[in-house]
Structure 1
């Protein structure tokens, strides 16, 4: 009889392990103290505390109408796209294929455009020839906030944090989460790519080659330049000097 029970539990464990999602390890059944005589009879325990996933690895969770411009000059319009900000990958839904999708190789992409149903558009570009030591940053995608002689670029990324609720010293966080991670870069005509913060001091330091003229303009605006719009205003002025 014990052999039959043990065999049954082993089979149940194997079935659950086979069906559980590899990205959701906390969904597995926990078989605790099954053969420990000191704990009493065999007990199958299920940990139901996991609350699933919060957030998404994608910039926009749904497929968006978009356009793609490749480095070889080819362009594709009215295609369904998703931008995986966590992995920095552009995903294309194959036309008339249902849910079949492909990842477009990053080095082949020059720019792409995503448009939400409400008309909000997001234009992304790549700048592999920019002068910056960080290869990960150089080879990624940037949201273009302003483009003139210089450009204000926004790196849109995601961070992942796994659930942490098991063990005596856990944080009691019962869900996995994807969170936004933004950073800003100034691309100057000499192709230098400099990380900046949205602040008057940092922006003026990054554009100090224009001397006092830009500082005088900034002082006259009575702004701390902490918004994207104000930063664009300052960079536009920089381009005129």
Structure 2
């Protein structure tokens, strides 16, 4: 009897302890709930950064429920394709309890819920470069590469792969940032794009200037 009572009390204490630890992992900032995640110690020793913004920056988020919130400390992990937030101490990272539909950091707007294409799903975030009859999207995906030199240890580094897409409201298509590819995607003449870019001194390899060209021909 005493042994059964001992194990019963032990089980209750374990459950209470686990409950306390789980509860301690939950946080709410600006009425936006989140759960604490492990610090990214796994990134140590890898050259470069997996983040869109290495430092914590303020921004705006829109959750799938439609709720909007301003957050003081946001950071977008491009390797995991996840938006994280922190408290004012910036010593811990939190994942959003409710999925994020869109967010803005450093003037850049990111959004998901686009059709799947290649390795990307409807949960993948894209930077919205321009909008009109079509949407011009940019995807910077991080992977971990490795380079070696004879007689030295392998060096791991974050490798960025950037692609652009056109979304027509139904499907996604890869597009290059040149006049020919844009013209084919938008259904206009290549010469018209080249003329407009030249007259306005716009570089299609610059996102801000690419946006101007794209929106002019995507009305």
Question: Normalising by structure 1, what TM-score?
Answer: 0.61
**Residue 99, structure 1, aligned to residue 91, structure 2:** yes
Q: State the distance in 2 between where 1:178 and 1:184 align.
A: 20
Partner of 2:196: 221
Residue 156 of structure 1, CA deviation: 1.7
Q: Deviations over 1:193-218 (max 9, x none)?
A: 1111111111112123x5xxx44522
More strand per residue: 2
Residue 91 of structure 1, CA deviation: 0.8
Q: State the distance in 2 between where 1:173 and 1:234 align.
A: 46
Q: Deviations over 1:144-200 (max 9, x none)?
A: 1112232211102212113535xxxx5856532113221111112x33211111111
Q: State the distance in 1 between where 2:213 and 2:151 align.
A: 43
Pair 109,175 (structure 1): closer, same or farther in 2 beyond 3 Å: same
Partner of 1:75: 68
**Residue 236, structure 1, aligned to residue 211, structure 2:** no
Question: How many residues of Structure 1 are paired with residues of Structure 2 in the alignment?
Answer: 175
Q: State the distance in 1 between where 2:117 and 2:90 align.
A: 41
| Matching residue within 158, 161, 166 for 1:186 | 166
Residue aligned with 1:136, SS: coil
Pair 82,201 (structure 1): closer, same or farther in 2 beyond 3 Å: same
**Residue 127, structure 1, aligned to residue 113, structure 2:** yes
Q: After the TM superposition, which residues 63-212 of structure 1 pair with which residues of structure 2 at under 5 Å, given as runs?
A: 63-93=56-86, 95-96=87-88, 99-104=91-96, 108-115=99-106, 121-128=107-114, 130=115, 132-134=116-118, 136-162=120-146, 164-165=148-149, 170=150, 172=152, 174-188=154-168, 190-208=169-187
Pair 22,71 (structure 1): closer, same or farther in 2 beyond 3 Å: closer
